Chain A
Amino acid sequence: MVHVSHRFEELSAHVELLDGVEVGPGDSVLVHGARIDVPFGEVRVERRRATVVHAGWLERAWTRLTGDLDCLSLLEIELNEGNAS
């Protein structure tokens, strides 16, 4: 379920997986279908198909290990070029 609000009082976008699939570190989620362009002033809720690719145990462990280092790019510290593109 994709929920997008593009209004003066709220700009937000959320993707909710309805069948209880849990997303873990390193997993990736792809929402299928056309681009979702919500005109200003509207809220749109769409039911879409989504594919969740679960990470293998190695990738999961790696993401858990390195994810926290990512907080550097989160803070946009320019110590590494991780956020350059």
Chain B
Amino acid sequence: MTTNLGIDNAMYGAVALNDTTRAAVATTTLSPRFYTTDFAAMDAMSVEPVRAEWDALIAELASDLNRKHFTRDKGLGWDLDIEGLSPALRAEFLDFLVSSLTAEFSGCVLYAEMKKRGKNPDLQALFKYMSRDEARHAGFINDCLRDFGVQVDMGFLVKAKKYTYFSPKFILYATYLSEKIGYARYITIFRHLEAHPERRFHPIFKWFEEWCNDEYRHGEALALLMRADPGLLSGLNLLWVRFFQVAVFSTMFLRDHRRPEMHAALGLEPEAYGMAVFRITSEISKQVFPLLVDVEAPAFLEGLRAMQRLDVELTAARAGGGAANWARARLIQARMAKAFVSLLLLPAKKNPLPASTRLAPSW
């Protein structure tokens, strides 16, 4: 859920280190953002309208199905070959691990904060389990970074932390979509590698199948919370529903295109992969959103392509430096904002909500 984590010391050429001698040759600074929200409004949320589905889901989270999943010796085979990775692939893959780690870590901090500060026992139970899962995922990714000799730096703990504000409904829209798109991303990669095992360049992908069910379950809970309060899914809030779908989809599209080596190694084409993920996410979100971005509309993909082309120009302008490039970057950003708004304004599809919210992860 937060940003700004980069490998400080770009020693990607780290050799494979065995478990006892895995010394850090590079560090990556964790700098999460800290959020506060309207805890009174959170406490006032009631799950009574969806009580039966809610209790079943909390029981599932409590049973902790993935408790034993995140270990290396669970029979999946940890066949890591760092030497086999080209430097460019290694750099992109590390960047991928680091941004995944940040997302998990920040989710953990945000959910723990909501558990701590909230007083609503239903929500506290949920956030406790969500925080547990994210911390576990972060630990697993952290260990993969250690294979490469990259160590996380938690210096932020003793730096002044400024708390910014994020309203409860935005937390729901944004986290729901990020959990569900996280599921769709992981399951799409996993299924692809099932069919093309020779493309699996790192063992972590073998863990994705059960891993993504954690994200899926979190998303289910957030869907129930929104369904319990129809006000969140009607009127002006529908604009936000659309906004977050477009924001999440376009963000993923741009970021994946910035990792060409990794996608080439996996044998995935970022555009086709993105569209497959958007279709799954959109299909899942029929459980909760009365208005869906039409991912099949040709104009949708064209809009994303336009943003992506501008993103390439923007990267070039920023790399160039100097006043002229600074001005150019501003101009490109304005054009990107315009392209984003055009995506927002595309006709959306009405979606009559199903009586029951819960949906099985069948992808």
Contacts and interface: CB of A to CB of B under 8 A. Distances in A.
Interface residues on B, range: 35 or more
Interface in A42-85: 53, 63-64, 67-68, 70-81, 83, 85
B155 A35 contact: yes
- Interface residue SS majority, chain B: helix
A7 B36 CA distance: 27
Interface string B230-263: 0000000000000000011011001100000000
Contacts of A15: 157, 161
A78 B333 CA distance: 8
Contacts of A28: 160-163
Interface residues on A, range: 35 or more
Contacts of B2: 74
Contacts of B248: 75
- Interface residue SS majority, chain A: loop
A83 B165 contact: no
B101 to A, nearest CB: 8
Interface in B154-193: 154-155, 157-167, 170, 174
Contact of B166 (A7, A35, A38, A71): A71
A74 B174 contact: yes
Interface in B128-144: 131, 135-136, 138-143
Given A40-B146, A77-B251, A9 B70 contact: yes
Contacts of A24: 36, 163
Nearest to A37: B154
Of the candidates A7, A34, A78, the one having the most CB atoms from chain B within 10 angstroms of its own CB is A78
Contact of A30 (B131, B138, B160): B160
A85 B4 contact: yes
Given A16-B116, A28-B160, A4 B154 contact: yes
12 contacts: A2-B157, A8-B143, A12-B105, A12-B135, A13-B109, A13-B154, A13-B157, A63-B165, A68-B165, A68-B166, A71-B166, A78-B311
Interface of A: 2, 4-16, 22-38, 40, 53, 63-64, 67-68, 70-81, 83, 85
